[in-house]
Structure 1
Amino acid sequence: MNDVFGRRRRAEEETARSVPERELAAPARESGPWDADEGHPESERVDLGGLLLPVGPGFEVQLTVSGDSIVGAVVLVEESALQVQAFAAPKRSGIWDEVRAELAREVAALGGSTEEREGPFGTELAARVPAEGQEPQPVRYIGVDGPRWLLRAALSGRAALDADAAATLEGVVRDIVVVRGDEPMAPREPIELRLPSEARHAMEQEPSPEELRPFERGPEISEIR
């Protein structure tokens, strides 16, 4: 009888030890933005290297350049804009809380205002940012902490205030794939992007401006500095 109880106790102890291991396993993501190493639904996306960016009819895509590096992308749809950037983050902790607080301080230093709100991706920052010669402009700052990366997005224009206009661009954020890579990167270091292969090929051929449209039914690609 003692042997039976002993076996049962050992089995319970082994079960108890195995539970924390299961709890530490990263849960499967139910929606994006996605990590490149995760399973994610197939979709039409522009390959920008560090980001796979969903595209749709009527989209125009501009690339944000810092020095000689491409560090972000802007999606323009009708009267709305979505700016997205990806940054490296520590392996065991997210950085959106810290980045959000810094954004709030930066906007305040410019004379603007911010308010934290709950949105479809968690806590976001609703801001009114001063613009030269204009009334303060509404901007929604969104952040998503992923595996060793932060995706930061900013909705402006009509999408910053109108839920219907925002839905299209929120869908873009939800379907982005972040390609972090395995190389060591300092926290907050931008994950560099690159021109799509079609655009690179077009530029190498030095075509006329009319030919610098690598996607027949997709977005126009241009650079902004």
Structure 2
Amino acid sequence: MGLFGRRGRRGAEEPELAEDDFQDGHVEGSLLDELGPYDEADAPDDGVARLDLGSLRLPVPDGAQLQVEMDPAGPVKAVHVLTQHGQFTVNAYAAPKSGGLWEEVCGELAEQLRGDGATVRSEVGDWGQELAVTLGQVALRFVGVDGPRWMLRGVVAGPPDRARPSATALRDLLRGTVVVRGALPMPVRTPLPIDLPEAIAEHIAQAQADPPLRD
């Protein structure tokens, strides 16, 4: 299942989505400066410890565990952050200077999720539109932000009875994230590369070289 979504502003729920439900909306730079997430050029000197993943610097909560998802071709596909609120995944993508990528793909995501049998609702969050999704016994929240030549997308998966605090925790994670877009031109929707810290990369390499013994 592809995990693309759209932006959010905190507030009331709306009916289930159709592709033409999405109206034009753009997060102004001043709002990003106020709320975060941050472009590398505007990264705050706030003393917050962030995990450096190359294109992303994540303020990983204390006590969280990390799970690395590798692409079969070799690159890192995603880094999942596991907490009491659920599993968080944050990715950044190349986007046009004009913004609006999150809005563009949100209708696609809603239709895809419905095709998988999910219940999909639209809610307004800190940055515009969000998707609140129930799929089986899992509640998912998709939140996205359009930045300068990048789009940040976060999703949290957890139990339905934790859906609200999980959504709040996801917004907090995105709010403190720094995106490192780089100057190289990239096709729109290209995932920004994830680079693991040396210690984590060495741990994974060692685990792959020494598979667990079987009885």
- Output the TM-score relative to the length of structure 1: 0.71
Q: Please state how far the C-alpha of 1:87 moved relative to its aligned partner.
A: 0.6
Kindly tell me: are residues 180 and 142 of structure 1, through their superposed partners in 2, closer, same or farther at Cα, counting changes over 3 Å?
A: same
- Output the TM-score relative to the length of structure 2: 0.74
Unaligned runs of 5+ in 2: 1-27, 210-215
The structure 2 residue matched to 1:34, chosen from 38, 53, 70, is 38
| 8 Å CA contact retained: 1:125, 1:140 | yes
In structure 2, distance between residues paired with 1:156 and 1:202: 26
2:185 is the counterpart of 1:184: yes
Correspondence list, 1:1-225, <5 A: 26-27=29-30, 29-40=33-44, 41-66=46-71, 67-129=73-135, 135-158=136-159, 161-202=162-203, 206=206
Matching residue's letter, 1:157 = G
| 8 Å CA contact retained: 2:97, 2:148 | yes
Sequence identity (%)? 34
Kindly tell me: are residues 111 and 169 of structure 1, through their superposed partners in 2, closer, same or farther at Cα, counting changes over 3 Å?
A: closer
Across the aligned residues of Structure 1 and Structure 2, the Cα RMSD in angstroms comes to 2.5
- DSSP-derived class of the 1:101 partner: helix
Kindly tell me: are residues 144 and 160 of structure 1, through their superposed partners in 2, closer, same or farther at Cα, counting changes over 3 Å?
A: farther
In structure 2, distance between residues paired with 1:159 and 1:120: 21
Q: Please state how far the C-alpha of 1:203 moved relative to its aligned partner.
A: 5.6
Rg: which structure is higher?
Answer: 1
In structure 2, distance between residues paired with 1:199 and 1:155: 22
- DSSP-derived class of the 2:54 partner: coil
Deviations 1:61-88 (A, max 9, x none): 2223223111322111025111111110
Matching residue's letter, 2:55 = G
In structure 2, distance between residues paired with 1:190 and 1:56: 24
Q: Please state how far the C-alpha of 1:165 moved relative to its aligned partner.
A: 4.3
Unaligned runs of 5+ in 1: 1-24, 130-134, 210-225
Kindly tell me: are residues 104 and 160 of structure 1, through their superposed partners in 2, closer, same or farther at Cα, counting changes over 3 Å?
A: farther
In structure 1, distance between residues paired with 2:68 and 2:56: 12
Q: Which has the higher contact order (CA 8 A, sep 6+)?
A: 2
Q: Please state how far the C-alpha of 1:91 moved relative to its aligned partner.
A: 1.2
Aligned residue-pair number: 179
Q: Please state how far the C-alpha of 1:200 moved relative to its aligned partner.
A: 3.2
Matching residue's letter, 1:149 = W
- DSSP-derived class of the 1:29 partner: helix
| 8 Å CA contact retained: 2:38, 2:178 | yes
